[in-house]
Structures are given as structure tokens and as C-alpha cells.
Amino acid sequence: MKKYRQALEKLFENPLGFALISNILTAVTGLLIFRPFFEEADDLGMALIVEGAYGCNDYHIIYVNTILCRLEEFLQVFISGVRWHTVLQYIFVFIALTVLSYYLAHYKRGRFAAVVIELACFYEVYTSLQYSKNSAFISVSAVVVMLDAIRREILRKNGGYDAVKNLLRCDFTAKQDRIVMIVCYALILYAMMLRESLFEMAVIYALLPGGITAINLARKSDAKIFVKYAVYILPVFAVMFILGRVNSLTYD
């Protein structure tokens, strides 16, 4: 018994283990203990259109990017009987919450903040399902974590990282930061395709810390660091522009 307790304590001590266990419990609570429902009729209607419940499959769904609808159609062909419009939201919400908890678990008292966020959000993102709300939540979570990972990466290369380390409960490695950034890029792209207008509104607030950092860098005339921020951020926004353009062309 003592051996299992020590193994569990060791698992919880690891930020990834803590994030996975706490979010699995959160997801189970929201999906099994509570009774999930569609907050609005929109999600059910969209799912039925993609599934072909009205006679034929159609990927032209208002607000949702047609590329995402095509992906849902593709998955429906290979694994029918699954409501992919809903399941994909659950998958990406779980990843977003896990990444956010993993990020916070590295900071002193961050685990307490992670648990508070999970308890505050689980009902809204798992039980009371609504695609616009989930798009906003995924966007904010991904952008905040991504910007902090970029900041650490730049400080690691240009000095000043010791100030960040003083705030950490356990350190991030460069590899961990890069993996987190890639995951956040994927979350951002999904959130944008799920509901672009809500994504844009959420990102305005989430980018405020990055905007303040950019202004400070500009004041210091540290153009090289400013350019490095842009190098990390602009590619994902370029892909988003392409996805938005492709979506527009399908309606022309």
C-alpha cells in the first residue's frame, strides 16, 4: 500500500502527471456524473447536417470553417455512429485544459490555480456544450500558454531567464516549451475553424500580455527580440489567414 501511495505521490509531483490526472477526473465528472446537454440547438443542428441526417452531407455550416466540416465528414465515413462535431470539441477542450494545467503546475502555487480553473470551467465546457464558448476558451488558453512559452524560449537564448526560474516550482526545458508551442498552435487553428468571430474576440484579450511585452521591447529598441517574437507568432496567423481564405472561396 505504501508503495502505491509513493508511486501516486511521485506521479502527482510530475507536472504532466498532475495535469492528466486532474483533467481526467474533471472530464469524467462533467461527462458522466453530470448529464451533458447542448446549451443551444445550434450544435445539434450542425452535427446532423454534417452527418447527413437531412438527406445528404453538407460541409457548408454557418460560422464553422468548411475544412473542419470536411474533417468531420471524413471521420464520419470511417467511424460512423459517432457525433464527431461534439467529440472533437471534447477532445480539444481536454487538451486545452491539460496544457493550461501543465503550464500552471510548473509555477509556485500554480497547481492551486489550475484546480480552481478546472472546477470553474468543467461544467461550461463539458456539460453545457456550446461551440462558440468552447472556441473562446480554447483560444484564450492556447494563446496565453503559447506566449509564455515563447517568452521563456527567447529569454533562454538572450539572457534574463534566471528571473523566470525564480517563479518556477520546477523548470521547463527547451524541448518542453517547443512541444507546448506546437500543441498550442494546433489548438489555436482548431478554435479558429470552430468559430472564427469568437476566436478573434478571445484572442484580443489573450494577446494583451504579448502586446505589452512588444511595446516594452519597442521602447527599449530591442528590435532583434521583437523580431523573434514575430517569427514565432506570425506563421500560425499566416496559416489561419489561408484557412479563412479557403473557407471564403468555398462559398464563392
Q: Which residues of the chain have pLDDT under 50?
A: 221
The whole-number pLDDT of residue 164 equals 62
What does the pLDDT read at residue 20? 92
The letter for the amino acid at 177 is D
CB 50 within 8 A of CB 57: yes
Cell numbers for 120, please give them: 470553474
Q: How far is CA 130 from CA 46, 50, 82, 169, in A?
A: 11, 17, 18, 35
d(CA 12, CA 159): 31
pLDDT score, position 123: 92
Per the structure block, which three cell numbers stand in for 179? 512541444
Looking at residue 82, the DSSP 8-state letter turns out to be S
Taking the domains of the chain in order of start, what are their residue ranges?
A: 2-249
The reported pLDDT for the residue numbered 42 is: 72
Q: What pLDDT does 31 receive?
A: 92
Buried b / exposed e along 37-49 (16+ C-beta atoms within 10 A): ebeeebbbbbbeb
Q: What is the pTM of this model?
A: 0.85
The three grid cell numbers given for residue 78, joined into one nine-digit string: 470511417
